[in-house]
Amino acid sequence: MFGKENIIVRLFNKNEFYQGDLLKDFIHSIGLEWDNKFRIPERENETLDLIGFELQGRLNKLGCGWNNKINSTMEFSEKYFTSKDPHLKFQPAKEVTQSYMDYFEESNEWVRQEFFPHKERLFPKKDLSNYKENYELKEMKPEYW
């Protein structure tokens, strides 16, 4: 419909972004000049931590999940349960992670060949030998609060 020559393909990787910045990369890739007067939006859609996953999952089961109205329960979860504590960081099961990597390997290779033939790989191969899965909240500790 658009033609491959009319598509700008970029890798979503901070090391690949123009000046290491996603917004500057976008502006640069469409041929505009960066202006420091641009209003930068606040970060949104941060990853919930395990407490947030657990809480929001239970609220969803009670019918308090996303709907057409403003969802104050999700806003609450996003506000208070996006901890950067490594003990609370969601990490899918190792088998799930491997499954995703396997599933996208072929299409990633096609994208590499078509748009990034100078690269050996699109993304570094992920070594899962020391992978620490963390997808269930197994205990609550006072320091989490």
How many angstroms separate the most distant Cα atoms in the chain?
Answer: 56
> Which residues in 80-107 are b (16+ Cβ under 10 Å) and which e?
ebbbeeeebeeeeeeeeeeeeeeeeeee
Dihedrals phi, psi of 73, to nearest 5 degrees: -70, -40
pLDDT value at residue 140: 78
Mean pLDDT by 10 residues, the chain (145 residues): 87 94 96 95 84 86 65 79 88 96 97 96 93 86 73
pLDDT value at residue 57: 85
pTM above 0.85, yes or no: no
The residue behind tokens 């100078």 is: 118
131, 89 in Cβ contact below 8 A?
no
The residue behind tokens 């502006």 is: 27
CA angle 97, 99, 104 (to 5 degrees): 100
Helix residue ranges per DSSP H, 47-92: 50-61, 72-80
